[in-house]
Amino acid sequence: MPFRKPGEEGARRTDVTETLVARGTAGAVAVAWDADQAVTALYSANYRSLVRLAAMLVRDAGTAEEVVQDAFVAMHGGWRRLRDPDKALSYLRQSVVNRSRSVLRHRAVVEKYAPKGLPDAPSAEAGAIGELERSAVIDALSRLPARQREALVLRYYADLSEAEIAGAMGISRGAVKSHTARGMTALRNVLEQFS
């Protein structure tokens, strides 16, 4: 079956494709209905993972939800321009990465002029080895440059291929390899403690 949109039948997907290709003759209502249905389907299948991906990038669950919701809204608005529904998830992932970058840039500006707060106190679970490993790795990851952190998160959390990472980050595959290698080299000292 050529279309992999979850929760839909084959005939419905064919209609969606024809509607998207023949957008000049299709009514706006039909296109809007397809966009709504696509949002619903993609939400039920990928919203949680996308929020977690965004949370790995922006290090804040609430902001991650807003980022993903904005990405869904943008996809709904650009649904007419999205000729291939199979690329909707890639579009969402790339949108999440780009919006996470924007959030981090904005946050960097805010933190630059905001007063320094006290560091986060270790939680009660910090005594556990797993929690210690996790917090140490996450802290080390958060200190990496943005591109290296994105490449590592997309590689080791989202389990994407180099081509998919390149598409999501908007860079070449060679750049993905470079960012991944440099990131792992930077994390080596921390990771060796738990190996």
Given the rule CB under 8 A, which residues bind another protein?
A: 36, 39-40, 43-44, 47-48, 51-53, 55-56, 61, 64-65, 68-70, 72-73, 76-77, 130, 133-134, 137-138, 141, 152-153, 156-157, 184, 187-188, 191-192, 194-195
Least distance to another protein, CB of residue 30, Å:
16
Least distance to another protein, CB of residue 107, Å:
17
Q: Within its chain, how far is the Cα of 39 from the centroid?
A: 16
Q: CA torsion sign, 26 to 32 to 35 to 40? A: negative
Distance CA 99, CA 91 (A): 12
Least distance to another protein, CB of residue 40, Å:
7
| Residue keyed to tokens 């930077």 | 186
Identify which of residues 21 and 138 has a Cβ nearer to another protein in the complex.
Answer: 138
Distance CA 188, CA 181 (A): 10
Distance CA 87, CA 95 (A): 12
Least distance to another protein, CB of residue 51, Å:
4
Identify which of residues 3 and 157 has a Cβ nearer to another protein in the complex.
Answer: 157
CB atoms within 10 A of CB 76: 15
Identify which of residues 16 and 153 has a Cβ nearer to another protein in the complex.
Answer: 153
